[in-house]
């Protein structure tokens, strides 16, 4: 049965402006420029004033004078149907923005640009080398298909039988797996060495076969990979020496040859842009004679403003005597674009302010560390500590710390790396978990590589230093530091 009732509810909802601000807070500086460009492309009412030139300014001046004369001569009636004030969509003063813009650049100023190297990709190099091989047209087509199945690390993850089925169904080419294997061997002779291998063992063996195979260390290295790869990967060196009846010096010479090889030959090709990406910091902290100074990196942030052309367009539509349906739709469209542009500009300003306030609080909280660079001076700090300090929500602090980098006198660090848990020493003093990780790294770095320290032994050493932590905590910190277990750290 249907019935009506009156009830009150208290709900909290984010406005579109707040959602936009939250998204911008999470964007790092390197991606913010692209986000601004995207907004400029999508919203014609948003302008980048840094791209203006004097000719455009003079043209705007003439247009403004012409528009003002026309508006003075016309008989404008107030449109009572509009429920908004036109003043909200116009500049507060009558001075055009181009008159307030100073261009302090000259032809003598040095322009510094980062050069980008343009070179053939890893796959282009393989295709080019394949053309130089003595292959038939059919073999070349199959070779191209095989190269297309090589991953970015240089490995061919599909076997000959699977490739044969793919060629039959995809390209209508019937070829036996044995003949496909012959073409794969042709591709394996291309550069870089080790390309088109099916696994790590084959990749390393292919590289060793390119070297002087008369050398005893090379022959032994190939033998170890072919016959004792499992023992080698687990660093069971005693089993290898016993199985192959070799001395420790012989094994060491062979291992020295193996560790020189490239386990990912695809990364050595021309398409190495992923490894050459530079960190674009969001903050810079300078030590000015004991006083810390914080600078927000806004080098690539353009100077945005609401398009004056769209403001004048809205004014013309509102003052128009013909208020038909199309005119009202045009007014609604222009209002929406101007509102969106104002919200975006305001969100960018709030983003800069929030970043500065949050980073200032972090800098003040970890002042001793930023002055000395000593990890032992790093205080335990969680998101709630900074949130309470600046009066913002924890989620906002989390967004600020996400994917942001800061340049300090001691290096460039990820902002979230300064947040750490609190650990208590035997003396009752609270220390940061990062301090313990630093000590753990030093202890492992000074260990005997022939007999690496186990996690139990590391826990005992830390306890002797006053840090009473369990073995599983040591294992967790070791994994966070990307340090392998003791067995895999063993060397001869």
Which ranges of 16-96 does DSSP label H, i.e. alpha helix? 16-26, 29-42, 54-73
Count of CB atoms situated within 10 Å of the CB of 119: 11
Rounded to whole angstroms, the Cα distance separating 65 from 94 reads 12
Instruction: Specify the DSSP element, H or E, that contains 422.
Output: strand 422-424
**Backbone torsions φ then ψ of 432, nearest 5 degrees:** -80, 145
The chain-wide mean pLDDT, for the chain, equals: 79
The half-sphere exposure of 148 on its side-chain side, counting CA atoms within 13 A, is 9
Rounded to whole angstroms, the Cα distance separating 282 from 401 reads 10
Angle between helices 455-464 and 433-445 (to 10 degrees): 120
Torsion of CA 391, 397, 399, 401, to 10 degrees: 150
Rounded to whole angstroms, the Cα distance separating 160 from 156 reads 10
Rounded to whole angstroms, the Cα distance separating 184 from 336 reads 59
Rounded to whole angstroms, the Cα distance separating 6 from 106 reads 69
Strands 405-408 and 430-432: unpaired
pLDDT at 484: 86
Whole-angstrom CA distances from 213 to 187, 371, 416, 478 are 21, 56, 50, 39
279 DSSP 8-state letter: P
What is the set of domains in the chain, with CATH numbers? 16-48+82-93+274-419 (no CATH), 122-268 (no CATH), 422-489 (1.10.10.60)
Return per-residue pLDDT of the chain as tens, 492 residues.
677 888 777 765 656 667 777 777 777 777 788 888 888 888 888 887 765 544 454 455 455 545 544 444 444 344 434 455 655 555 544 444 444 444 555 555 555 555 555 677 888 889 999 999 888 999 999 999 999 899 988 999 888 999 999 888 888 889 999 999 999 999 999 988 999 999 999 999 999 999 887 889 999 999 999 999 888 888 888 898 888 898 988 999 998 899 889 988 887 654 444 444 567 788 889 988 888 899 888 766 777 888 888 777 777 777 777 777 887 787 788 788 888 888 888 888 888 888 899 999 999 998 988 888 887 788 888 888 899 998 988 888 888 888 888 889 888 888 888 887 767 666 666 677 777 888 888 888 888 888 888 889 898 888 888 888 888 888 888 888 888 888 878 877
Give residue-wise pLDDT tens across range 236-250: 888 988 888 989 889
pLDDT at 486: 84
DSSP 280-312: --SEEEEEETTEEEEEE--TT---EEE-HHHHH
pTM > 0.85: no
């Amino acid at each position: 049965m249907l019935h009506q009732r009156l009830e009150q509810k208290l709900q909290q909802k984010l406005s579109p402006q707040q959602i936009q601000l939250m998204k911008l807070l999470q964007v790092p500086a390197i991606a913010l420029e692209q986000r601004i460009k995207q907004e400029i492309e999508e919203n014609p009412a948003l302008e980048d004033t840094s791209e203006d030139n004097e000719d455009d300014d003079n043209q705007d001046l003439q247009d403004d004078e012409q528009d003002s004369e026309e508006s003075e001569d016309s008989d404008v009636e107030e449109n009572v149907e509009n429920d908004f004030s036109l003043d909200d969509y116009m500049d507060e003063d009558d001075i055009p923005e181009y008159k307030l813009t100073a261009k302090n650049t000259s032809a003598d100023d040095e322009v510094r640009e980062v050069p980008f190297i343009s070179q053939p990709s890893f796959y282009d190099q393989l295709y080019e080398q394949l053309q130089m091989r003595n292959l038939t047209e059919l073999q070349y087509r199959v070779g191209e298909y095989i190269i297309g199945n090589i991953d970015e690390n240089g490995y061919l993850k599909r076997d000959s039988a699977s490739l044969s089925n793919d060629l039959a169904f995809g390209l209508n080419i019937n070829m036996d797996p044995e003949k496909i294997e012959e073409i794969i061997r042709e591709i394996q002779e291309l550069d870089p060495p080790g390309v088109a291998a099916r696994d790590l063992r084959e990749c390393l063996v292919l590289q060793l076969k390119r070297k002087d195979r008369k050398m005893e260390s090379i022959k032994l290295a190939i033998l170890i990979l072919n016959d004792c790869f499992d023992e080698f990967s687990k660093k069971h060196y005693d089993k290898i020496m016993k199985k192959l009846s070799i001395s420790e010096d012989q094994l060491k010479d062979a291992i020295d040859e193996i560790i020189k090889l490239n386990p990912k030959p695809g990364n050595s090709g021309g398409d190495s842009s992923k490894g050459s990406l530079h960190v674009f910091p969001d903050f810079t902290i300078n030590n000015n004679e004991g006083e810390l100074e914080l600078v927000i990196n806004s080098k690539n942030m353009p100077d945005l403003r609401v398009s004056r052309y769209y403001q004048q367009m809205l004014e013309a539509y509102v003052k128009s005597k013909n208020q038909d349906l199309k005119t009202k739709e045009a007014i609604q469209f222009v209002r929406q674009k101007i509102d969106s542009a104002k919200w975006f500009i305001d969100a960018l300003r709030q983003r800069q302010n929030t970043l500065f306030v949050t980073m200032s609080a972090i800098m003040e909280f970890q002042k001793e560390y930023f002055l000395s660079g000593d990890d032992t001076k790093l205080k335990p700090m969680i998101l709630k500590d900074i949130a309470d300090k600046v009066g913002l929500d924890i989620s906002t602090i989390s967004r600020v710390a996400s994917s942001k980098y800061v340049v300090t006198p001691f290096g460039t660090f990820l902002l979230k790396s300064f947040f750490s848990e609190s650990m208590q020493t035997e003396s009752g003093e609270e220390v940061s978990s990062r301090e313990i990780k630093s000590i753990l790294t030093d202890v492992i770095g000074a260990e005997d590589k022939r007999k690496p320290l186990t996690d139990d032994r590391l826990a005992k050493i830390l306890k002797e230093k006053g840090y009473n932590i369990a073995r599983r905590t040591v294992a967790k910190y070791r994994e966070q530091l990307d340090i392998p277990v003791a067995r895999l750290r063993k060397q001869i």
